[in-house]
Amino acid sequence: MKRNPHRTQNIAFFFLLVAMLLIVVPVSLIVVIIIQKGLPAINWQFLSDVPRQGMRAGGIFPAIVGTIYLVTGAIIFALPIGLLAAIYLSEYSKDNPLNRIIKLAIVNLAGVPSVVYGLFGLALFVVFFKFGASILSGSLTLGIMILPIIITTSREALESVPQSFREVSLSLGASKWQTIRHIVLPNAIPGILTGTILGLGRAAGETAPILFTVAAFYLPQLPKSIFDQAMALPYHLYVISTQVPNVDEKIRYGTAFVLLALVLFMNLVAIIIRYKFRKKKKW
C-alpha cells in the first residue's frame, strides 16, 4: 500500500494537537481547581488575621507581609546590579572571551538549583556574615537568584533600541554615558520593567532558597527589622500542607490561591507590558 502523504500529515498534526492539549488541559485544571476551592476561603479576615490554633484557623497576614518584605529586599539588591550588568553587556562589552564567560556565568546562575541557593545563602549570609536567619539573608539570597532574569530581559530591551538612536546622540556631541542615560534607557524602560516584574514573581514563589535563610514556621508578630525572621507565603503553604496535620482544606487551598494569584498576576502584567510595547514600537 502506498502511503498517502496527506493522510500522514493529518495523523501527525493530530498527535501534535494532542501533545498541546496534554499540557494545556492539566494546567487549566490545576488553575481552575485552585480558584474553585481557594476563592471561597478568601475574605478580609483570612487576609488580615494572624494564624490561630496552630495554623488551623485564622489568616495568613504575617506570611503575606513577610513575602512582600523579602521580594522588596531582593529587588532593591538585584535591580541596580542587574541593570548595570545589562548596560555593560549591551553597550560596553566587545565580542571577546570575557564577554563569553560573563554570558556563560549568567546561564549557569540561572540554572543553579534553587535549593543550592538556599545552601549558599546559609553558608555565606547566615553563618559567614553572621546575619542569622533573617530578612536580610533571605532577600540577598533571592536577589542573587533573580539576577539572571533581570540581566537577560534588560539586556534584550537595551539591545532592541536601534543603533541609529545612539549614533545621532553621539554625533550631537553627547558622551557615551549621556547617550545611555538620556536616549537608550528611556526607550528600554518597558522591557526593563517586564524583567523586574518577572524577577519579583519568581522571588515571591520560591521556597527552597528561603528555607534555611529566613523562613519561620510560625511568628505571631510581624518582623520589626531586617535582622528578624519572617513568615513567607510559599513556605507557609509547604508547612500547612505537609508539616501540620489536620489543617482545614479550605485554608490550604486559600493559601495556594493567594500565592498563585500573586505570582500569575505579576507575570500577566509583565506579558501585557511587553505586548503593548511591541505593538507601539515605532521602529
Partner 1 sequence: MRKFKEFIIEKLILISGIASIFFVVLIFLFLLKEGLSVFNTVSPFNFLFGKSWYPISEPPQLGILPLILGSLLVTLGAAIISIPIGVGCAVYIAEVAPGKIKETLKAGIELLAAIPSVVLGFIGMVTLVPLVKNIFHLPTGLTALSGSIMLAFMAMPTIVSIAEDALYSVPKTYKEGALALGATHWQTIWRIMLPAASSGILAAIMLGIGRVIGETMAVMMITGNAAVIPNSILAPVRTLTATIAAEMGEAVVGSEHYFALFAVGIVLFVISFIVNVTADLFLHKKQ
Q: Is 160 near partner 1 (CB under 8 A)?
A: no
Contact 73, 226 (CB under 8 A): yes
Of the residues 189, 268, 276, 281, which one makes contact with partner 1 according to CB under 8 A? 268
For residues 175-194, which are near partner 1 according to CB under 8 A? 175-177
Binding flag, residue 227, partner 1 (CB under 8 A)? no
Q: Which of 234, 247, 251, 254 contacts partner 1 by CB under 8 A?
A: 234
Which pairs count as long-range contacts for 108-115, CB under 8 Å and 24+ apart, including other chains? 109/144, 109/147, 109/148, 110/148, 110/149, 110/152, 112/145, 113/208, 114/145, 114/206, 114/207, 114/208, 114/209, 115/208, 115/209, 115/211
Distance CA 249, CA 259 (A): 16
**Interaction between residue 87 and partner 1 (CB under 8 A):** yes
| Least Cβ distance, residue 231 to partner 1 (angstroms) | 14
From 47-55, 58-66, 157-165, 238-246, span contacting partner 1 (CB under 8 A): 238-246
- For residue 268, give the C-alpha cell: 500577566
Tell me which of 179, 194, 207, 229 binds partner 1, using CB under 8 A.
Answer: 207
Dihedral Cα 85, 91, 95, 96, nearest 10 deg = -50
Does 1 engage in binding with partner 1 (CB under 8 A)?
A: no
Under rule CB under 8 A, which residues in 132-151 are in contact with partner 1? 144, 147-148, 151
Q: Is 116 a binder of partner 1 (CB under 8 A)?
A: yes
N-to-C CA span, the chain: 55
Closer residue to partner 1 (CB): 73 or 224: 73
